[in-house]
Amino acid sequence: MRPFATLVTALCGLVLSSSSIVYAESTFASPKPLLPADFKPPQVFKNVNLVRNTNLEKGFARETINVVVENVDKQPQSDYYLSFPSDLFGRVGGLEVRDKKETEKGRFEVEAAEVDYPSDVQYFVVHLPEPLASSSQITLGISYSLLNSLHPRPAAIEQSDRQFLTYSFSAYVPSAYQTMTQKTKLKFPSTNVPDYTTTDLKSGEDPERQGSTYTYGPYDTAKIEPGTSHPVTVRYEFTKPIITATLLERDLEVSHWGGNLATEERYWLRNNGSKLLNHFSRVDWTVANYQQSPSSAIRELKYPLKQGSVDPYFTDDIGNVSTSHYRPSKGNREANLEFKPRYPVFGGWNYSFRLGWNNDLAPFLRRAASGTDSYALKVPFLEGPKMAEGLQYEKVVLRVILPEGARNVRYETVEGSSSNGLPSAGQIQSSLSSHKTFLDTLGRTVLTLAVESLTDEARDSQLVVTYDYSFWEGIRKPITITAGLFSVFAAAWAIGNIDVSIKKR
């Protein structure tokens, strides 16, 4: 029995090797610097010309600002402050700043810097890659979304009524610096804009209307103090739901042995549109569907899937939902999952569900060139339904479940020449933990990323996860199973050889 004991000890030593130190390591986004309540950005810049484009064609406001910035200080400057009203600061999503003339160089680093209470203004700090010399200019392209910024008016309507939304903003763009000239363009989903604020800030008609585009300005604001506001409210028709995911939990499970990438997403949806004035009528709903009338309720969700996606499922709190249609991919065409909630989701209603599918791991995983034990996993950070009315996410929690024994885990988001809808890496919280499943010993390594205030513009944004995974870690589970079975058989053999007969003394 001595050789057997030695073998079991060696196997246990391999199975229980001390690679779990990675689980104790956790990294989080650095805390936001807190500025004093009376903080004012140094007036080292001025905005020579500013143009703001606001798109209201989806269920959230999308703003793009192009501004020519000049350094008016005698010293080179590298920190440009973006100011937002305090009530909007927490709802800014996917903020991105680039050099408008050289977008291919990538985004600038942006840091949230909150001002201590009480303050009506909060700031993001844009760190220019190179200090801007005195009297020099740079054109900044600033893009972001404003979540939960659209409000239905009236707040409650009949089931067959059309929905109208309001959007409020300032004709003067909030800025920490002196702005010489500026204007704002609004793009509506239709020409039906029954109410809008008119101003006398310039000679002539303001706003100027051209189809579904309204233009406020241009204004000569050289003598207007920074931070001055001029309230404007517009009301327009929007005959689609305002789809909001209060929480999305997205799990990506990597299996080297099975060669599989399993994806599961859990949604908590809410429609932020107009509420029903009276009770829901199934008869009126059936007639409206037959007539294909527009509605502010969520009827169905269309979800494109990657090529090769198989085994899709759609369940909610009750169980499997059969009102779904899956179209597998053919050739270069992506797969498509169309599913209808168990009931139409009207304004103020909630619906939670989960869906999942499998993919072959090979298109997503590559062995790193730096070493035979290193791997690089490239997966979408966010997928989600693809709807004309858009989808906004209040919070997204992404978990990448790596094989047991994976260590030295690192990640990065892939940037392109255009916006990918994600905030800067410093605004994404990350942590490492362990997750035990069937026949695991130490548990699988889990990389968890959490980010707030996203929109569907982040669909298909890429995440690259690199990790080390040795051959011995790969055979941990087979050895564990073999050792376990061998131990059971050995114990059974040992027990079977025990003499329990009653003998004479």
Say if residue 43 is in the same domain as residue 122: yes
Residues in the chain, total? 505
Lowest mean pLDDT among 25-34, 248-257, 390-399: 25-34
Average pLDDT of the chain, as a whole number? 87
CATH code for position 72: 2.60.40.1730
The alpha carbon of 281 is separated from its chain's Cα centroid by a whole number of angstroms, namely: 35
Distance CA 319, CA 270 (A): 19
Lowest mean pLDDT among 21-25, 293-297, 387-391, 398-402: 21-25
Residue 1 has pLDDT above 60, yes or no: no
Lowest mean pLDDT among 116-125, 380-389, 451-460, 472-481: 472-481
* Residues 147-182 pLDDT 10s: 999 999 999 999 989 999 999 999 999 999 999 999
* Residues 298-310 pLDDT 10s: 999 999 998 888 8
Amino acid residing at 270: R
Look up the pTM and report it. Answer: 0.86
Say if residue 117 is in the same domain as residue 254: no
Supply the pLDDT for residue 426.
77
Residue 28 has pLDDT above 70, yes or no: no
Say if residue 163 is in the same domain as residue 149: yes
Say if residue 202 is in the same domain as residue 271: no
Residue 33 has pLDDT above 90, yes or no: no
Within-domain flag for 269: yes
Distance CA 36, CA 113 (A): 10
Supply the pLDDT for residue 442.
75
Within-domain flag for 38: yes
The owner of tokens 């990597």 is 254
**Percent composition of the chain: helix, strand, coil (DSSP 3-state, to 5):** 15, 45, 40
Range of the domain at 436: 20-30+242-277+343-479
Percent of the chain with pLDDT over 90: 59
Q: How many domains does the chain have?
A: 2
DSSP secondary structure code for residue 430 in this structure: E
Residue 70 has pLDDT above 90, yes or no: yes
Q: Which residues contact 188 (CB under 8 A, 6 or more apart)?
A: 56, 57, 212, 213, 214, 234, 236
Higher pLDDT, 431 or 322: 431
Supply the pLDDT for residue 19.
34
Distance CA 56, CA 95 (A): 17
Within-domain flag for 327: no
Say if residue 259 is in the same domain as residue 191: no
**Nearest in space to 193 (alpha carbons), one of 207, 183, 175:** 207
Whole-number Cα distances in Å, 48 to 66, 71, 177, 409, 487: 11, 10, 10, 45, 78
* Residues 200-251 pLDDT 10s: 999 889 999 999 999 999 999 999 999 899 999 999 999 999 999 999 999 9
Within-domain flag for 291: no
Within-domain flag for 384: yes
Residue 452 has pLDDT above 80, yes or no: yes
